[in-house]
Amino acid sequence: MDIKHHVCTFSSNNEISAEIRETLKKLGEEMEKAGYRPDTSCALQNVDEGIKAESLTYHSERLAIAFALASLSL
């Protein structure tokens, strides 16, 4: 992703700022209101469904979207 001529990359293990974390929280709330439910069948870890859903919250694509939205509001 290129924001203000700075290339950024994301992975699910990225350290994220409080601003991006808050943006993800707001997006998640809006998505749930609209009826979104995470498809945990694609999360291949052998863990509880709640943990799978939580891990999808911090997927690299979501991090990139939250970063872009937070950057646009600066």
Q: Where are the domains of the chain?
A: 2-72
Identify the pLDDT of residue 71: 78
Cα radius of gyration rounded to whole Å, the chain: 13
List, run by run, the mean pLDDT of 10-residue segments along the chain (74 residues): 69 74 86 84 72 75 81 67
The pLDDT value given to residue 34 = 92
User: How high is the pLDDT of residue 1?
Assistant: 56
